[in-house]
Structure formats: C-alpha cells, structure tokens
C-alpha cells in the first residue's frame, strides 16, 4: 500500500541534543493517527519536520510518494498539507472570515495586475474563496462568530477558527498540534466530533499530537508513541493501552504484571 505521508529514518539534532532519533512512520489516506508521548519527547519537532518548518538532520519525508526534501516550506499548503499550531497562529485584529480567507490564499493564482483591477480570474477566485470559506463556517458551526474580531473570542472559539483556517486550504493531510489543549469538556467533545467529520465527510486524513488520552483513544485508528525522540510503540488504541513500554514511558516504571 502506498502511504499518503511517510517519514523514513528522520533525525533532528539541536547541537548535542537529538530531539528526533531515526523515526519512521506513515499515515494512510483516510486514517486518523495520533502521535503521543511525554513532554519533551520530540512530537512538535517531528511535526515541524513533517510540515517543512524544520529540515531533518538526516532521513526524509515523503508526501504523496514525493520526497519533500527540496520543497520550500511555503509550498507545503499548496501540496496538500494543512496544520494548526500549539500556540494559536491567527491574526488577532482581523475578523473570523478574514482569517479563514488567509487560509485560502494557496488557491489564489491570479497575478497582481489582475488582482488590482479585480477582473476576470481575480474576481472568480475571490468569489470561489468566499464560497468555500462560508462552507467551512457552516461546517464548524461558527456562523455567529463570522464577523467577530478573533482577539475578542474565547480560547476554545479561537482554536475552532484556527481549525477552519487550516481547512480553508483544502488539505489532503491535516496536522493538528494539541487542538483540544486548554478546552473545557464540552469544547473538546465538539472538536472530537469535528475531527471525525473532517475525515468522514470531507475525506481529509488526520495526524494529531494530543495529550488528552480520551480524545486519542476515542478517535485514533493507529497511535505512534515517542519517548526521548525515539519511536517506542505503534498500534491500535487497545494495543497501545496494554503496551508495557508505553506505561513505563508515562509513569517511569514497568507496568504491573497480571500475575
């Protein structure tokens, strides 16, 4: 089977520290996969390597079977990779709609002259962008927030807008970095439902870093576990829950035996 995204033997060193150590993983089209591990395990660094924010010290990332080694970071969205960030990456003084339109910019192909005079292709692209953004607003149930300034929204609402911004680029693979962190139970349940719908209704594959084990166990088809930069386990939620190496990484001790 060909993988939508594959990391092969990826290493990232920061000076003397090996943050990601020979990690190989893949995500198949249509899956929801999670990347978990204790604080400092290397999850965000690995996400940054997958999404082109960082270059690996060695190893390679493939997306749609193409090596991304020479791809410029700004081309990743157009290639079909969308992501959210652990710390919100929104324009706080702009409205929700304006933020979502920024996420749509990868689909704008008109040249500056067409854009200035708002003619032909520029007009068609603008109309298409606004239509798509309105669909996302409806999908994420944020109609009442559409004209609000992002900085005035609650943290949970802003996270939902950031999810919308990532969706606006129509990604094939969506990378979610701790999307439910800081949310209350109700907000988490809403986002969990949206993640399932993103896969089932929009057909978008998801790879997420998540500390909330309830969300991880409920949503994931497969889970990868990192510890000290190394991949220590991979499997279904049931397999991961019963893996002694995972318990040891989280609790710092061997899992109790059945005996």
Residues in contact with ligand ATP by the rule CB under 6 A: 14, 17, 19, 37, 39-45
Q: How far is the CB of 122 from ligand ATP (least distance, A)?
A: 39
E strands of the chain, at which residues? 5-14, 17-27, 32-36, 58-63, 66-67, 81-83, 173-177, 205-209, 222-227, 230-235
Kindly tell me which of 14 and 117 has the beta carbon lying closer to ligand ATP: 14
Specify the residue for token string 């969506």.
174
Q: How far is the CB of 225 from ligand ATP (least distance, A)?
A: 11
Q: Show the 3-state SS of 148-212.
A: CEHHHCCHHHHHHHHHHHHHCCCCCEEEEECCCCCCCHHHHHHHHHHHHHHHHCCCCEEEEECCC
* d(C-alpha 99, C-alpha 253), whole Å: 45
Phi then psi for residue 157, to 5 deg, are -65, -40
Kindly tell me which of 97 and 231 has the beta carbon lying closer to ligand ATP: 231
* d(C-alpha 40, C-alpha 196), whole Å: 28
Kindly tell me which of 19 and 140 has the beta carbon lying closer to ligand ATP: 19
Q: How far is the CB of 13 from ligand ATP (least distance, A)?
A: 9
Q: How far is the CB of 87 from ligand ATP (least distance, A)?
A: 10
Q: In the chain, what are the helix, strand and coil shares in percent, each to the nearest 5?
A: 40, 25, 35
Kindly tell me which of 41 and 136 has the beta carbon lying closer to ligand ATP: 41
Kindly tell me which of 100 and 216 has the beta carbon lying closer to ligand ATP: 216
Q: How far is the CB of 45 from ligand ATP (least distance, A)?
A: 3
Q: How far is the CB of 65 from ligand ATP (least distance, A)?
A: 26
Q: How far is the CB of 2 from ligand ATP (least distance, A)?
A: 28
Joined together, the tokens standing for residue 182 give 């800081």
Kindly tell me which of 153 and 174 has the beta carbon lying closer to ligand ATP: 174
* d(C-alpha 95, C-alpha 100), whole Å: 9
Kindly tell me which of 139 and 250 has the beta carbon lying closer to ligand ATP: 250
Q: Give the 3-state secondary structure of residue 126.
A: helix
């Amino acid at each position: 089977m060909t993988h939508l995204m594959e990391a092969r033997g990826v290493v990232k060193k920061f000076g003397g520290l090996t943050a990601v150590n020979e990690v190989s993983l893949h995500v198949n089209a249509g899956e929801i996969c999670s990347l978990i591990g204790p604080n400092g395990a290397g999850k965000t660094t690995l996400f940054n390597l997958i999404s082109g924010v960082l270059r690996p010290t060695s190893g390679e990332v493939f997306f749609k079977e193409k090596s991304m080694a020479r791809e410029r970071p700004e081309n990743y969205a157009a290639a079909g990779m969308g992501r959210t960030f652990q710390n919100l990456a929104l324009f706080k003084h702009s409205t929700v709609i304006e933020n979502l339109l920024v996420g749509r910019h990868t689909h704008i192909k008109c040249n500056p002259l067409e854009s200035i005079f708002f003619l032909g292709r520029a007009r068609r692209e603008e109309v298409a962008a606004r239509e798509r953004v309105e669909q996302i607003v409806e999908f994420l149930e944020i109609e009442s927030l559409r004209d609000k300034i992002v900085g005035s929204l609650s943290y949970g609402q802003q996270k939902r807008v950031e999810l919308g911004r990532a969706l606006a680029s129509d990604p094939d693979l969506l990378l979610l970095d701790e999307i439910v962190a800081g949310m209350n139970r109700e907000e988490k349940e809403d986002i969990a439902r949206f993640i399932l719908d993103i896969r089932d209704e929009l057909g978008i594959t998801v790879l997420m870093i998540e500390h909330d084990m309830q969300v991880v166990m409920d949503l994931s088809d497969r889970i990868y576990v990192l510890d000290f930069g190394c991949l220590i386990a991979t499997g279904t939620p049931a397999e991961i829950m019963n893996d002694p190496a995972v318990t040891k990484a989280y609790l710092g001790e061997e899992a109790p035996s059945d005996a």
